[in-house]
Amino acid sequence: MKQDAGNRERGVALIMVIFMIAIASALLISLTSSTYTSMRLNRAAEQRIRAEYILKSAVNLAQVLIKNDTTQYDDPVQDAWMKFIDGTEVPGELVGISEPNVRISLLIASEQGKIPLLSVVNTSGVDPTWRNVLVALFKNLGFDNPATVKQSNPTTSQKIYSSEEMVANLIDYLDRDKDNYSASGFPAQGCEGNLPMGEEFRNDGRMESIASELGAIPGFTPSRIQLLIPFVHIDSGPKTININAADERVLNALIQGIDPSASPDEASKLIACRNPANGFFNQNYASQITGCIDPNVANLIKPKLSPSGNTFSVISKVDYGLNTFMASATLRARNGRLPSLENLIIY
């Protein structure tokens, strides 16, 4: 009997030992996992902080490049900032970074190289020229094409707005009255008078943010806004397009909006003239344009063009290991001084 009791005691002791080992193992695994997770979170936080400084350094670099632009007119050969108009990788040494796993890129674009969205409405009312230019841009971006419409309107119950209707709705958002926009010869009306009870448009001719405010206008779906952002701006500066920085699609929309009968290759001719051999467009840009394209078309579009701009959008990106961080900023040039930083968003 004593032997059986001893065996039972030894069995219980063995079970207790195994139980304690299991608990210790679980605690050790949990502690190891917690420590690893904590290390990863700390490393991610450290990377984000370092990335923030790198992004700000890239924006500072853009400020220096723009400050050092001493030419009166934008010249892709002489102006260092124009080397970054398509987004270019920046050597880490320029922003004080030597880590091999960090890649930095920088894009600097003249805001005046885009279509001034707010010009569609001015103190006198609606500008039909800019209205038609926006319609042409929307059509060129495919807003009336079935594939784009399907992507933009995933539900069949959502109303599908044409390019003309979208521009009319935009005018309603900006103009100072609360009536549906309509004009003789324009094939669409606005929607302001049909808004749900209690809803109103801004009606003061301004916008603070393209992405957030356009989304409040019927027809401007997220996918359409994403397509539109690279080609329009809401800056309050000159209501002209910088011909030296404009994308061909911007110039094409300008020409089609002003003269629908113009040859479809006039914009590409302007781009072809914008090269070192021709000296780019300078103070003689009016005569240069006339020498590039049909003189009748040239005379119509010249009032809407200029050879330079003073506001710039900057996008910096940092690939840090497996993570990507970005910043966007708006800079306004000042003679002999660093450009002023109008805004900075890090995401």
291-300 per-position pLDDT tens digit: 999 999 999 9
Domain that holds residue 153: 117-306
Distances (CA, A) of 99 to 51, 172, 326: 12, 52, 18
Whether 143 and 230 share a structural domain: yes
The better pLDDT of the pair 157, 343 is held by 343
Q: Identify whether residues 316 and 297 lie together within a single domain.
A: no
Give yes or no for residue 4 having a pLDDT over 80: no
Residues 143 and 81 in one domain: no
Instruction: Tell me how crowded residue 297 is: count the other CB atoms within 10 A of its CB.
Output: 22
Task: Specify the pLDDT at position 7.
Answer: 56
Domain-embedded: residue 9: no
Percent of the chain scoring above 70 in pLDDT: 84
The pLDDT confidence band at residue 346, using thresholds 50, 70 and 90, is: confident
Residue 5 predicted with pLDDT over 80? no
In a domain, 282, yes or no: yes
For range 5-24, the mean pLDDT: 66
Q: How far apart are CA 136 and CA 257, in angstroms?
A: 6
Segment 232-275, tens digit of pLDDT? 999 877 789 999 889 999 999 999 999 999 998 999 999 988 87
- pLDDT higher than threshold 80 for residue 224: yes
| Residues 282, 296: Cα–Cα separation, whole Å | 21
pLDDT at 301: 96
Where do runs of H (alpha helix) occur along the chain? 2-67, 128-140, 146-152, 163-174, 210-214, 222-228, 248-258, 266-273, 285-292, 295-301
Query: In angstroms, rounded to a whole number, what is the distance separating the alpha carbons of residues 210 and 218?
Result: 14
Residue 235 DSSP label:
-
Q: Across all residues in the chain, what is the average pLDDT?
A: 84
Entry pTM: 0.78
76-97: average pLDDT: 83
- What is the rounded average pLDDT of the residues 43-59? 81
Tokens, residue 45: 């936080």
pLDDT classification of 141: cutoffs 50, 70, 90: very high
What is the spatial distance between Cα 159 and Cα 182, in angstroms, rounded to a whole number? 19
Nearest to 264, CA basis, from 294, 289, 231, 302: 294
Is 17 part of a structural domain of the chain? no
Residue 46 has pLDDT above 90, yes or no: no
Residue 329 sits in a domain of what CATH number?
A: 3.30.1300.30
Are 314 and 302 members of one domain?
A: no
User: Which pLDDT belongs to residue 150?
Assistant: 55
Instruction: Return the higher-pLDDT residue of 45 and 80.
Output: 80
Do 244 and 137 belong together in one domain?
Answer: yes
Q: What is the mean pLDDT of residues 285-307?
A: 93
d(CA 119, CA 233): 10
Q: What is the pLDDT of residue 34?
A: 61
Q: Which residue in this structure is represented by tokens 């080609």?
A: 231
Q: How many domains, the chain?
A: 2
Alpha helices in 68-103 (DSSP H): none
Tell me if 29 is assigned to some domain: no
129 plus 172 within the same structural domain: yes
pLDDT score at 172: 95
> Is residue 293 within 8 Å of residue 180, measured between CB atoms?
no
From its phi and psi, is residue 280 left (phi > 0), alpha (psi between -120 and 50) or beta? Answer: left
User: Do residue 241 and residue 324 come from a single domain?
Assistant: no
Picking from 152-156, 212-216, 255-259, which range would have the lowest pLDDT averaged per residue? 152-156
Rounded Cα distance between 36 and 22, Å, is 21
Strand duo 241-242 + 305-306: pairing: parallel
Q: How far apart are CA 247 and CA 268, in angstroms?
A: 10
For residue 94, count other CB atoms closer than 10 A to its CB.
Answer: 13
- Count of other CB atoms within 10 angstroms of residue 219: 23
What pLDDT, on the 0 to 100 scale, is given for residue 155? 47
> Where is pLDDT greater, at 247 or 145?
247
Q: Does residue 323 share a domain with residue 270?
A: no
Does residue 81 belong to any structural domain of this protein?
yes
Extract long-range pairs of 268-276: CB within 8 Å, 24+ residues apart. Answer: 269/293, 270/243, 274/243, 274/244, 276/76, 276/77
